[in-house]
Amino acid sequence: MQRLIIIFAFTILIFPILGKTQNKLIINNIILKGNDKTKRRIIERELPFSIGDTLSDLNTSISVAKKNLINTRLFHNAFFDIIQQGQYINIIIRFEERWYFWPIPILEYADPNLATWVRRQRIDYINYGIVLEKKNILGLNQKLRLKIRRGIREQYALEYNIPMLFGNKKIGLHTDLSYFRQKEIHKSIADLQYIDLKDDKYIYHELRALGGINYRPGFYAKHLFYGGYRQFDYDKSVTNLFGNPIQNINQYISLGYTFDYFKGDYVMYPLKGTKMKLNHEFGIGQKKYAYTDLAFSIHNPIIDRVTFSYGLNSYLSYTKNFPYFVFAGQGKTWYIRGFEDYIYQNDLILINRLQIKYTLLKRKQFEFDWIPSKKFSKPFLSIYLNGFTELGYTTNFNQEYEEHTPLSIGTGIDFLTYYDWVGRLEFVYNNRDETWINLHWGYIF
């Protein structure tokens, strides 16, 4: 009887172990198809497995691999086929590559967002020009971008990004050379809106020459350490801005750090996952400056088709008489829905965003046979309904005390389609007793 009990106990213990062993699969080969441009090492960089690895959960590994590949923004889609022979498998990945060279005409509003530009009814308040962008150079996911923009804020820029430097999968290079000039600048704020200063000649010039090293230790986090030279020049006729006397020539050696993190389904429009971007920069010059800018969001599915999202935007300046030309935050680099027209130039700005989203139309694929290129012949459309509320808080530590608590509530509809294009139509009510109907490009989170 004792022997029977021992055998029975041993059987109970050993069977799960044997079962797990039998479920494990060994990768014999990884075959790539359709990557006409993209090199194999760029693709392998995104895979959580390699030839010879043993997988205990094949479905999870493939799901992670597909998300990583799509979030490179090099492919429309990636399809996985598995051929199994006993414990050994061959993984076949079929790609639909995107179009990588874009001559993009510029015809854009010069206001911080589309909704404000429409309400101001200043049709001439625009920028125009062209962007020449070449992605995936040599199939190595390098990006070269040339920008020529005229109008309210002229810009001449050259950017070059290399994700893998000298073949190192974790180290990359970032460069940014830009020159700006303007005949019209902001001189003050009244009732949370800009008052502008105009002239027939250029009264503001800005030069930016930055370079940095990217470090990507894993799939989800990226670090950028950068530095360089910034110069901001005002015409001699400009003596005072935002209530403070200014220097006409402002030169800085700038150093900064950016942390970028995303783990989820789709980086441009997440329905599941965590997203974060933190930037800290300080400048050494005639007057020092330092600031921290943070964007954070989490997205959790509640039930089928329903997602809850929470977001936090914050901006903190550590410097008295902070130079406006490097100011970030509400009204310049991001906004509170329902307060698109307003500027909060404070030392501390916090925004909390709560949103419930319903997927009205799941990703619907279309095929247009009359379009000869497969890079454009299979567009898709997704539609989402949402309700949201946003609460902000702004105050000053280094300047005269000033406090605001903007609050809004609203509903909207989002359209997501090819090449990461997002359009949003929103109906919003705020605690200034105002009601707005706003149209935006790009996702709020």
pLDDT single digits (tens) 175-225: 999 999 998 888 888 888 888 888 989 999 999 999 999 999 999 999 999
CATH class belonging to 2-97:
alpha beta
**What's the DSSP call for residue 23?**
H
Q: How many residues make up the chain in this entry?
A: 445
List the one residue out of 397, 343, 330 whose CA is nearest residue 191: 343
Q: What's the half-sphere exposure (Cβ side, CA atoms, 13 Å) at 40? A: 6
The CATH number assigned to the domain with range 101-441 reads 2.40.160.50
Phi-psi region of 152 (alpha: psi -120 to 50; beta: other; left: phi over 0): alpha
The residues, ordered by sequence, that sit 6+ positions from 310 with a Cβ below 8 Å of its Cβ are 297, 298, 352, 353, 354, 355
| Residue-wise pLDDT tens digits, 281-290 | 999 988 888 9
pLDDT tier for residue 241 given thresholds of 50, 70 and 90: confident
Amino acid letter, 424: R
**What's the DSSP call for residue 330?**
B
Residue 252 has pLDDT above 90, yes or no: yes
- Residue whose entry in the numeric block shows the structure tokens 């350490």: 225
Hey, where are the domains in the chain?
Answer: 2-97, 101-441
Determine the pLDDT at residue 322.
Answer: 63
Beta bridge partners of 206: 180, 232
Establish whether domains 2-97 and 101-441 are of one fold: no
| Residue-wise pLDDT tens digits, 127-178 | 889 999 999 999 999 999 999 998 888 999 999 999 999 889 899 999 999 9
Residue 293 has pLDDT above 50, yes or no: yes
Q: Is the pTM of this model over 0.85?
A: no
**Average pLDDT over the chain, rounded to an integer:** 88
